[in-house]
Chains A and B, each alone.
Chain A
Amino acid sequence: MEEHEKRFLAAKAKKVRQLTIDSIGRLGVGHVGGSMSIAEVLTLLYYRHMNVDPQDPRRRDRDQLVLSKGHAGPSLYAVLADKGYFPMDWLHTLNRGGTRLPSHCDRNLTPGVDMTTGSLGQGLSAAVGIALGNRLDNIESTVYCIIGDGESNEGQVWEAAQAASQYCLGNLIAFTDYNKMQIDGYMCDVMNIEDLTAKWVAFGWFALRVNGHDLEEMDRAIERAKAQKHRPSMIVLDTIKGKGIYFAEGKLASHNMPVAYADALEAIDRLEKEG
């Protein structure tokens, strides 16, 4: 990755965090932790890898993203607004009555959202279905999916895993946001999922584990995944819940937390100063 490209993407990731915490802060509560841990992967996908057109959000041959951990909607909305899918000021309506930006992703409300999610465990199956449908229609695009580590407790994730492998879906690339936390505690204390990478390999996937906040490392992983033509890929992202937000980073309580608007502004300021 060129130096200027890296700087561009890093600046975008920062902006995604700032817009996200602003929208949550205006409301006063929200899923800060899981929104922040995926800022880099969303940035890489939407500003570098995905072939999408904000003017034509349903273009048939677009790349698609199923954000299966649908509670991280706010950070996806920040990306979509910045890309021009809808006006920036929609971000101020998060979760208000009549909004088009609900806490969990909704394909019928928000331009650019490809799948409705929020009931954990369902997104990967939908992504497998979209990938199958694209293959049937000879559409050469990639379907991306982001699941949570806590979400990976759900049996349906593994049902989807076996299907994607059975159907040799080289057009499917999934990520696990491995922030090591679910709501009630650390994964290792509540319901451990190690050895996660080995599990995906055992299910027949091409699987890698990388630093989920390192844009270059992730970029190389995505390139390697794209090169897999006959099997699905899982890129396990080592991440930090709440990353970049001083009052949330690394905290279990960051899952769904109250946020005073003054604190959100302070967080935006600190992100700015850190560069």
Chain B
Amino acid sequence: MTTQPTPEMRAVYAQTLLDLAQQDERILLLEADLMRATGTRPFLEALPSRTYNVGVAEANLVGLAAGLSATGKIPFANTFACFAARRAYDQFFISANYARLNVKLVGTDPGVTAAYNGGTHMTFEDLGLMRNIPGLVVLEPCDPVSLAELIRQTAYHAGCTYMRLHRGVAPAIHASQGHLLLGKGVMLRDGEDLTLIAAGVVMVNEALAAADLLANDGHSAAVIDMHTIKPIDIELVLESATRTGALVTCENHQVINGLGSAVAEVLAERRPTLLRRVGVQDEFGEVGPLDYLKERFGLTAENIRQQALDLLQAKSGR
């Protein structure tokens, strides 16, 4: 067995962006006094003239990025997910998206990973807000391998994107990058009894662990990395519904208007199928260590397992 190296996701982000920028001078980095957290100092050091740190001013961050993109630049704008989504929403909506410009917005520390920063910083609604912007691509990579590839595709997608970025270390899950495409989910593990659809570092790992638990219970669960939340991979959702007849979505986000809602919309209109949504149940965040918060909001393999068992019972009763 080989042990995979486990780099911090932010280090992968910074390095990939720098590699891209060194080959394409349109790519710029914009920060709002959180460079220490987003980890992009290597970019600043290598390309100081293509880095703008606007200070603690997120509305200005996004507005500036919109203007830069109007001149043909490809700006990547970073801040915590809570400020990217809530604080600069109107700027992102109007100046970037409605104006049909090209801003790559990145929100770090999504959901419970805000941990010690507490409730003010804990965003369980960014996917929902972003999903409501017409035509926007919304994604949340789950490991360093897919992150690097999806950043490249994001950079060259024609139009705005919003990416949730996990700050800390994350194990490699994808074996290679060849099969990764924006808008296309990836079957990480095949299974027959039900399908777990997850996004992001926290929940894809919990879903894989839940599949192991379920295997011990005698159930075979497929696991999908749905790295692109919008546009959602309709074919893969329908195919999984047909094949396994039961789905559980897993998100580090409100169940309202996030990944679970996106899947539910597809199913309800095209192929009604048994579904459970694991995620935050209409609550605000709170402060604490990550493990406490995962338990507190039910973002654990054990809770996924319980929901899955419940669902399988409903399925067998049909």
Measured CB to CB, the residues of A under 8 A from B are 27, 29-30, 70, 95-99, 102-104, 106, 116-121, 148, 150-151, 153-155, 182-185, 190-191, 255
State in angstroms the CA–CA spacing of A154 and B33 once bound together: 11
B56 and A151 form a contact (CB under 8 A): yes
**Central interface residue in A116, A185, A255, by most chain B CB within 10 Å:** A185
Q: Name, among B36, B53, B120, the residue most crowded by chain A CB atoms within 10 Å (CB to CB).
A: B120
Can you list 21 A-B contacts (CB < 8 A)? A95-B287, A96-B292, A97-B288, A97-B292, A99-B287, A102-B118, A102-B119, A102-B286, A103-B287, A106-B119, A118-B118, A119-B82, A121-B56, A150-B55, A153-B54, A154-B57, A183-B35, A184-B33, A184-B35, A191-B33, A191-B55
Main secondary structure of the interface of B (DSSP, over half): helix
The digit string for B40-76, where 1 denotes a CB below 8 A from any CB of A, is 0000000000000111110110000000000000000
Closest to A185 in B: B53
In the complex, how many angstroms separate the beta carbon of A23 from the nearest chain B beta carbon? Answer: 13
For the A-B complex, the count of residue pairs with Cβ-Cβ distances under 8 Å equals 92
B116 within 8 A of A: yes
- Are B287 and A155 in touch, CB under 8 angstroms? no
A residues near B34, Cβ cutoff 8 Å = 183-184
Which residue of B has the minimal Cβ distance to A152? B56
Residues of A within 8 A of B57 (CB): 153-155, 191
Interface residues of B in 252-266 (CB under 8 A from A): none
| Complex Cα spacing A152 to B55, Å | 9
Please measure, in the bound complex, the distance between the C-alpha atom of A95 and the C-alpha atom of B59, giving whole angstroms: 29
Question: Would A97 and B120 count as touching, CB distance under 8 A?
Answer: no
Contact B33 A183 (CB under 8 A): yes
Interface of A is mostly: loop
Q: Is B281 an interface residue (CB 8 A)?
A: no
The docked-state distance in angstroms from the alpha carbon of A154 to that of B32 is 10
For residue B250, CB closer than 8 A to chain A, the reply is no
B87 at the interface (CB under 8 A from A): yes
- Tell me, in angstroms, the Cα distance from A154 to B87 when the chains sit together: 11
Query: Which chain B residues lie closer than 8 Å to A97 at the CB level?
Result: 288-289, 292-293, 296
Given A104-B117, A190-B55; A119-B292 close (CB under 8 Å): no
B59 to chain A, nearest CB (A): 6
Cβ A191 vs Cβ B116 within 8 A:
no
Of the residues B55, B87, B119, contact of A182 by C-beta under 8 Å: B55
Pick the contact of B288 from A30, A99, A148, A151 — CB < 8 Å?
A99
Q: Report chain B residues within 8 Å CB of A183.
A: 33-37
In the assembled complex, B143 has its CB within 8 A of some CB on chain A = no
Chain A residues with CB under 8 A of B92: none
Q: In whole angstroms, what is the CA distance A162 to B86 when docked?
A: 24
B109 close to A (CB within 8 Å): no
Chain B 114-130 interface 0/1 with A at a Cβ cutoff of 8 Å (1 = within): 00111111000000000
Q: With the chains together, A191 CA to B58 CA distance in Å?
A: 13
- How far is it, in angstroms, between the C-alpha of A183 and the C-alpha of B35 when the chains are bound? 8
What chain B residues lie within 8 Å of A190 (beta carbons)? 33, 53, 55
How far is it, in angstroms, between the C-alpha of A130 and the C-alpha of B63 when the chains are bound? Answer: 31
CA distance A27 to B289 in the complex (A): 10
Contact status A191-B53, CB under 8 Å: yes
What is the bound-complex CA distance between A190 and B53, given in angstroms? 6
B251 sits at the interface (CB 8 A): no
Question: Given that A97-B288, A98-B288, A184-B33 are contacting pairs, would A154 and B120 also be in contact in the complex, using a CB cutoff of 8 Å?
Answer: no
Nearest residue, chain B, Cβ from A118: B120
Chain B residues near A155: list those with CB within 8 A: 57, 59-60
A96→B288 contact, CB < 8 A? yes
Q: How far is the CB of B234 from chain A (nearest CB, A)?
A: 36
Which chain A residues border B162 with CB–CB below 8 Å? none
Chain B residue, CB-CB nearest to A99: B287
A191 CB contact (under 8 Å) in B35, B54, B292: B54
CA distance A99 to B292 in the complex (A): 12
Contact A103 B55 (CB under 8 A): no
Interfacial chain A residues near B293, Cβ < 8 Å: 97
Residues on the A chain within 8 Å of B119, using CB? 102, 104, 106, 118
Closest to B38 in A: A184
How far is B116's CA from A191's CA once the two chains are assembled, in angstroms? 26
Cβ 8 A contact of A95, one of B53, B56, B116? B116
Least CB distance from A152 to B in Å reads 8
Cβ contacts under 8 Å, B117 to chain A: 103-104, 118
Give every chain A residue within 8 A of B59 (Cβ-Cβ): 155
Q: Which of A30, A103, A116 counts the most B-chain CB atoms under 10 A from its CB?
A: A103
**What CA separation (Å) do A182 and B117 show in the bound complex?**
17
Is B31 an interface residue when CB atoms closer than 8 A count as contact? yes
Q: How far is the CA of A185 from the CA of B53 in the complex (A)?
A: 10
How long is the Cα–Cα vector from A185 to B54 in the complex, in angstroms? 12
Given contacts A106-B118, A183-B36, 15 further A-B contacts (CB under 8 A): A29-B116, A30-B116, A95-B288, A95-B289, A97-B293, A102-B119, A118-B119, A118-B120, A119-B83, A150-B55, A155-B59, A182-B33, A183-B34, A184-B34, A191-B53
Beta-carbon contacts under 8 Å, B78-123 to A: 82-83, 86-87, 116-121
Q: How far is the CB of A159 from chain B (nearest CB, A)?
A: 11
User: Complex Cα distance A191/B34, Å?
Assistant: 13
When the two chains form their complex, are residues B116 and A103 in contact, meaning their CB atoms are under 8 A apart? Answer: yes
For chain B, residues 279 to 294, give those with C-beta under 8 angstroms from any C-beta of chain A: 286-289, 292-293
